[in-house]
Structures are given as structure tokens and as C-alpha cells.
A and B are shown apart, each in its own frame.
Chain A
Amino acid sequence: MTIMISAENLTKRYGRRPAVRDLSLTVEAGQVCALLGPNGAGKTSTMRMLLGLSTPDGGRVRLLGEPVGLGAPVLRRVGVLIDGPAFVPHLSGRANLRLLWSAAGRAWPPPGLDAALDLAGLGDALDRKVRGYSMGMRQRLMLAQALMRQPDVLILDEPANGLDPAEVRALRERLAALATEGAAVLVSSHQLAEVQQLATHVVVLHHGRLVAAGPMADLVGAAGSLEEAFLTMTGEEDERAAR
């Protein structure tokens, strides 16, 4: 299988605090990989490094076999949702999509615009200013921005935030379909039940270190659910009880 996302011995510190320690992971074409961990485990820091938004203190990152830095050309083939949605508030949803697409010098419209807008389901609101959007509408617009590129790689930080159950299901089906078509999807999430339905593979981080990685079925194993397996792996319940 083709390796689409690869991180080798990634390390990142913020001041003296280590955020990610010696992390290696790969995501292959056709996989939906969930990046899991308690708050502060290093998930978002890892995703930022994978996208070139943060420079690792050690290790290296490759997307689609190419090295990644800030604004690297390979990012044209990557759909991104990171650190929540963000838009120019005084422009409409459509103008924002156009702006983010044409910023890289590409001609409007993008190849997957119609399908992405279908999923976003914003209707007439697409031509209203983003300033008036709800949290869920912003999230759906940002997902449309990530999907309209018809990306080979998707890196999505908490993609289901603010979505209602029907929207979460539609997103799950869309991501699964993209993976079937050969894309690699990396999602971070705290919604473990949802992740269990969506992901084929799991990477678990705790205190910036890799705790476990592998196919979903192997990791869930005898625990019966991803939630049980996750809490056992990270010792979160024990830590909470000790506090």
C-alpha cells in the first residue's frame, strides 16, 4: 500500500514543556486513521507539524512522499481542518471558499465544489456573511473547504464538532467513501463511539508519546469498545480517580 502520511521521530517542545516526543506514525491510502488522546496529549501539535504549520524540533514529516514545510506545494493535495474553523467575517461563505481556493493561484471553481457544498448543506446561507453563522454552520463550511479540493489526504482536527447526528453520519459516510477511493484520512476526535464507527486504524497518544497504534479491531480487542480500550491504554480513569 502507498504511504500517504508519514512522521518519523517527531519531537516538539513549547519552551521547556514537551508536547510531542519521538512520535512515528504512518497512514496508508484507503485508511481512516483516528488520532486519539486526552486533552494535552499532543494531537493538535502533531497535526500542525504534519501540515508544516509548526516546525518540529526533531524528526521529519512527509505527505504523499514529499517533505512538508510551511506553504509546501504538496499541501495543494491535502484537505485541512485544524484548530477549528476560521473565516473572514465580513465576507459570505461562498466568498470565503473562493478566497481560500484562489489564494494559491488556482482558477475558481474547485473540482469537488458541488459535492462539498452538498455535504455542507448551507443552502442560501452560503451567500450570507459568515459573521452571522452558527458554530455548526462554520464547521460545515470549513469541511466544505477541505473537501472541495478533492484531496488525496485529509487531516481533520475534531471534524464533528458542532454537527448534529445526521450531519455526523453524512460526514462519516463521505470520509469512508473518500478512503475507499484511495484517499488517506487522519482525524482527531474525543467522540470515541463515533470514531469506532469511522476509523479503520487508531493511533493513541498520551503526554506526547505514542501509546498504541494499529488496526481498530486489534486495539479494541477484548475490551469490547474503543472507549474501554482507550481508557485502559491512557490510564485516564485512574488519573482522574487519583486527582
Chain B
Amino acid sequence: MLRVELTTQLLRIRTLVALACLAAVPVAAGVSTAGNAGHRNGGNVGLFGAATYSALNHALASLAFLEPLLLPVVVSLLGTAIGAADRDWGTLRYVYVAPVSRRRLLTGKLAALGVATAAATLCVPLAGLLTGLVLFGWHPFHVVGAANLTGGETAVRVSIACGYNVLCMLSIAAVAFALGILLPRGVEALGASVAFVIAATMLNGTPVLRAVQDVLPVHYWQLWTPLFDPIGAAQLGTGVLVQLGTVVVAVGIALLVLLRRDPAA
């Protein structure tokens, strides 16, 4: 089933265009800042300030730039499509009589969700890395206000950052997937999941809503960036728990709907 889902969803033009749009942002950002290669990027601090020092810096800065909005929108698109497309096309009944059991269908869809989310998330730093290689060259990871990271430190922190980002995006992918299973049509699920991302981002930016922010997955998405500050440490534990909790709840809802709903209803 994984191959079926990947063939129908990941290799379709719409998905490839969305991934290309994601990849285009690091390219455009790299070209626009190429004049600062090897120097601090304007008056910026943190990842954005060091983006022009090396390919790795540009890769991580690209991820930090896209993670709050464009990346989750693309991930929502993938999540809702994996949840709803076969019902929209009417092929779900033919998959069931192929025959494919509910358990196998759900397992295949969840595996595809993981692969699609990882592909979308990692295409951003990959595009940033390739663009950075051409424009800024391969140099040690630069931290504004601190010494360059060693190769080992860079490998560990970049791995943690990428893994954490994939997990964060997996939480919104799971929400989109559950909406795709729950709502009658994929387009409605896509609208609802994009609205969720935007609303959650707005709520997260409203300081008086602290209690609400604490349960929003969006609230923890940027916790990884201190990994590349002079202190070099980030408190990711709560963020990991909230993302995992969101995934479990969303997948649980999807499973419940899938088990209880008559596929012909």
C-alpha cells in the first residue's frame, strides 16, 4: 500500500510543483543575499545573520524561514491528499475489494504520510545546501557571536534540527490527514487544515493567550533554533511531547472514523 500511496500522491504534478515552490525559496533567498557571501547578512542575528557564511548556514536558515508558514501549508496539502484523495476519486471502494483491509490501508497511508512529510521538510535544507554550495561554498558552520562549530557538533545539531522539524511537520500532517479522513471532500479538509495553521500561528502571536499557546503544536516549532545560538542548547522535550501528542490524537481520530464509517455511506 505504501507504494500505491506514494505513486498516487508523491509523484503527481501538483505535489512536485509544491515541492519545487518550497525549494525555490532558498534559491531565491540565496541569490538575493549572494553579495554578502562570507560576511554577516545585514543586521540580522542568529541563523539569518550567519546565513551567508556557508552552505550549511544557508540550509538551516532556509528551514527556519519556511517552517512557520509555507512548509506547513505544503505539508497540509500532502496530508489531506493522502487522507482524502482516494475517496474523492471513488477509488477507495476498489481498493477495499482489491482486497485491502482497513488495517493495511491505514498502515500504508501513515507510512506514506511519514515519507511525504520527511520529503517536504528535508527538501528545504537540501535546496538551501545546494544553493549555498554554489553561492557561499563549503565552510564550517558559523555562529554569530561565537566560534565556528566543529564538524561533529554541526552533524549532531543539524541532525537534531532536521529530526525535530520532521516531527513538528508530522504533527500538522497528521491533523491534515485526520481532517482528510473526517471531512467529505479533500478540498474542504485542505481549507480546514490551512485555516488551522494560520489560526494557530495568529493565536501563537497573541501574548495574552498564553494558556492556549501552550497546547498549540505551532508554539514549539521554532524551539530548535537556539541549537545554533552561542549557547548551543535547546529545550526540545516539551515540544517533542506536544508534537507526539498531536500525532497520536489526530491518528486516533482518523482511525476511529475509518473503523466506524461505512465506506459506502
Residues of A within 8 A of B (CB): 14, 45, 48, 51-55, 70-76, 78, 80, 82-84, 86-91, 95, 99-104, 145
Contact = CB atoms under 8 A, between A and B. Distances in A.
B97 A99 contact: no
Interface residues of B, number: 26
By secondary structure, the A interface counts as loop
Given A48-B264, A86-B94, A102 B99 contact: no
A82 B89 contact: no
Nearest to B86: A88
Contact of B97 (A55, A82, A87, A102): A82
Interface string B230-255: 00000000000000000000000000
A152 B1 CA distance: 25
Interface of B: 1, 3-4, 7-8, 12-13, 89-91, 93-102, 104-105, 262-265
B104 to A, nearest CB: 7
Contact of B98 (A88, A90, A100): A100
A87 to B, nearest CB: 6
B237 to A, nearest CB: 40
Nearest to A104: B98
Given A71-B105, A91-B7, A99-B4, A145 B94 contact: yes
A117 to B, nearest CB: 18
Given A53-B264, A90-B13, A78 B97 contact: yes
B99 A88 contact: no
A71 B93 CA distance: 9
24 contacts: A14-B265, A45-B264, A48-B264, A51-B96, A53-B93, A53-B97, A54-B265, A70-B96, A70-B102, A71-B97, A71-B98, A75-B97, A75-B99, A78-B97, A80-B97, A82-B97, A83-B90, A87-B91, A88-B89, A99-B7, A100-B95, A100-B98, A102-B4, A104-B99
B8 A88 contact: yes
Contact of B99 (A45, A76, A84): A76
A32 B93 CA distance: 23
A243 to B, nearest CB: 29
Given A70-B102, A70-B263, A86 B97 contact: no
A106 to B, nearest CB: 9
Contact of A91 (B8, B95, B97, B263): B8
A145 B94 CA distance: 10
Contacts of B13: 90
A45 B262 CA distance: 12
Contacts of B97: 51-53, 71, 75, 78, 80, 82
A55 B265 CA distance: 10
A95 B3 CA distance: 12
Contacts of A104: 98-100
B256 to A, nearest CB: 15
A73 to B, nearest CB: 7
Contacts of A73: 99
A83 B99 contact: no
